Structure 1
Amino acid sequence: MIELKNVHKTFTRKGIAIDALKGVSLKVEKGDIFGVIGYSGAGKSTLIRLVNYLERPTEGQVLVDGHDLGAYSVKELRAAKKNIGMIFQHFNLLESKKVFDNVAIPLVLLKKSKEEIRKRVTELLEFVGLSDKAGSYPNELSGGQKQRVGIARALASNPSILLCDEATSALDPQTTRSILQLLKRVNAEYKITVMIITHEMSVIQEICNKVAVMEEGRIIEQGSVLDVFGHPQHPTTQNFVKTVIQNSITPSVQKSITTGLGSRICRLNFVGASTTEPLLYEMIRTNEVKVNILFANTTEIQETTLGTVIVQLDGDGAEINKAVAFLKNNGVSVEEVEAYVLDHSNR
């Protein structure tokens, strides 16, 4: 539905070329809630502005529903952009207009009849839970209510795509959760594809099914949220995942570890059904290895449980290999991590 093909974007500031995007390629399928995450300056806001052609790529293609936006005439592009709604970090409401009139703006521009506008705006305000605020002004609303108005306005023209540029970063955690749940309803009930730009991994965890991680204008990792959370490859992705999922040994435990010849420390990742199976028990029962559990944690992503266990395995090398093979054969990802070899004579 949305596809970027080898997109580059270069800005020129005071004669200096700044590469905001460097060969970005990604695909958002119909019905996705697709998250793009990165630190400030990663290029994510530039990327989302390309999708509705608020910015044009320096090189590469932006396709929506299979059509290259760059090939459209001005009139054709204007028509295509009516199919793309957008909500913003700071709401972008007109302070001089009441809530009803803010939501109605896209419909007025489309020259809809007063009755059509009344019916559609009333429906949307009910959907976002603001029926009683139709006659209020933006300065009478909370941040969460303002964003709900922004969402209603973005939905007014019945778009098939909704772009969200840091839509929750100005909100408190509780309000953020309520807005994210509303976006899930938008996706499910209106069948709208949602693309979210954020620097908060908790937002990705809450509602996205796919994610792309950006750094310095490039996509460094992308895939299903379950895969990226369960097996982050790039150090930047790993740092983001750590903000919502603790998956490493604490410093105090590290200091207490004693290892001998043949000891291995492994991170075991369990997904779904394997998290409830007694696999460690079966591994110990069938192999002559000693197991010291150094860390354990579970979390839920996309209604699937992820479990992380870090263990120290001691025993004969062949037995440890058999134990590891047993786990892998039962769907457990096994990653050998740095051994904490300590010189206790110097402690």
Structure 2
Amino acid sequence: MTMIEMKRVYKTYKRKNVATEALKGIDLEIQEGDIFGVIGYSGAGKSTLVRLVNYLERPTSGQVIVDGQVLNDLSDSQLRAMKKQIGMIFQHFNLLESKTVFDNVAIPLVLSKKPKDEMKKRVMELLDFVGLSDKARSYPKELSGGQKQRVGIARALASNPKILLCDEATSALDPQTTQSILQLLKRVNKEYNITIMLITHEMSVIREVCNRVAVMEAGEIIEQGSVLDVFGHPKYPTTKNFVKTVIHNSIPESVKRTLKKTENSRVFRVEVKGEVASEPIVHQLMKNHEVEMNILFANMTEIQETTLVIMYMQFDGEASAIERTLQFLNEKGAGIEEVVE
């Protein structure tokens, strides 16, 4: 089931007769249960995009559809009801310093006029879920950054939302705390079956928790798909630059400088993933194929519990022997791309 959909969405800001296009023809689908990451550099349009989902911003044109409802067509009262199904956590926590942790988490329930007994039960259940049941009477100034973000997550979950929006939710945290918050978001997704839309400029965050990703540049989505596919086959320079921050996937310059090529040598980028990555493919190549083989570069990483191996291999031999070698790799399900320089 599609939980969030955008159809040809444009957003233009006008100030002093100067128009700025923040979003340009966005088409996007996020399925129920996804942890969907949106990544891009500053000014790419990420935050504008996420603010359209809960209608903090309205599109200049195009449709925003949430849980089957076209937000453009809803009345103000219908929008208020819809927004209760959408929680949001922020980069800088947005907690009220004058209120206790308990009272901060309870804010959505107070606004919904829930009975006190029901409210207390729900708040304590959520504080236990995020590991802060002993901090109910503490104030935000007494908490660490990670604890503050856990309070923010508990508050966002208070009204039992179907969707959780995360706008740079970990960028103010240190790496160890970031890891713990990402693991908590995974639990939220799994145990509450909440669809998560996560905005970030950190590819490591995408790798850690997301199953799908969209890459933004200058108000457009330039690339989207499963995290495994986008990491394995980045097509655009921006995506390649992001992927390089977490996966070294190109031949080092020092290797290029010393590379010796002959008339019969060819270089290929070879990608294997899943169970195939654990097979002795290199051994089989050396044993059964009449080519000289040189591994110029290799890297192994794990994405969404799937192993991804990227190798740059130089084959030297007769053309027919190299073709048989490539056929063997194809039969193994490897992705192959010849490197021509």
Give TM-score, length-normalised by structure 2.
Answer: 0.98
User: Which blocks of at least 5 consecutive residues in structure 1 are unaligned?
Assistant: 340-347
Residue 330 of structure 1, CA deviation: 1.2
Q: Which residue of 2 aligns with 1:280?
A: 282
Q: Which residue of 1 aligns with 2:200?
A: 198
Residue 82 of structure 1, CA deviation: 0.3
Choose from 109, 112, 115 the match for 2:114.
112
Q: Which residue of 1 aligns with 2:83?
A: 81
Q: Which residue of 2 aligns with 1:100?
A: 102
Distance 2:280 2:134 in 1: 53
The question of 1:255 aligning with 2:257 is answered: yes
Q: Superposed, which structure 2 residues align to 1:268-347 within 5 Å?
A: 268-339=270-341
Distance 2:75 2:99 in 1: 33
Residue 132 of structure 1, CA deviation: 1.0
Residue 281 of structure 1, CA deviation: 2.5
The question of 1:137 aligning with 2:139 is answered: yes
The question of 1:50 aligning with 2:65 is answered: no
Q: Which residue of 2 aligns with 1:235?
A: 237
Residue 306 of structure 1, CA deviation: 0.3
Q: Which residue of 2 aligns with 1:37?
A: 39
Residue 279 of structure 1, CA deviation: 1.9
Residue 119 of structure 1, CA deviation: 0.5
Distance 1:61 1:229 in 2: 29
State the Cα deviation string for residues 173-221 of structure 1 (Å, max 9, x = none): 0000000000000001111111100000000000100001111111111
The question of 1:28 aligning with 2:27 is answered: no
State the Cα deviation string for residues 245-282 of structure 1 (Å, max 9, x = none): 11112121111111111321111101111111122222
| TM-align CA RMSD | 0.9
State the Cα deviation string for residues 276-325 of structure 1 (Å, max 9, x = none): 11222223333321101111111000100000111111111222122112
Distance 1:58 1:173 in 2: 38
Distance 2:339 2:103 in 1: 58
For residue 152 of structure 2, what is the amino acid of its counterpart? G
Indicate the percent of aligned positions where both proteins have the same amino acid: 68
For residue 150 of structure 1, what is the amino acid of its counterpart? G
User: What secondary structure is seen at the aligned counterpart in 2 of 1:102?
Assistant: helix
> After the TM superposition, which parts of structure 1 deviate over 4 Å for at least 4 consecutive aligned residues?
none
Q: Superposed, which structure 2 residues align to 1:122-271 within 5 Å?
A: 122-271=124-273
Distance 1:99 1:85 in 2: 17
User: What secondary structure is seen at the aligned counterpart in 2 of 1:148?
Assistant: helix
User: Which blocks of at least 5 consecutive residues in structure 2 are unaligned?
Assistant: none
User: What secondary structure is seen at the aligned counterpart in 1 of 2:248?
Assistant: coil
Q: Which residue of 1 aligns with 2:11?
A: 9
How many residue pairs align between the two structures?
339
Deviates more, 1:159-168 or 1:228-237: 228-237
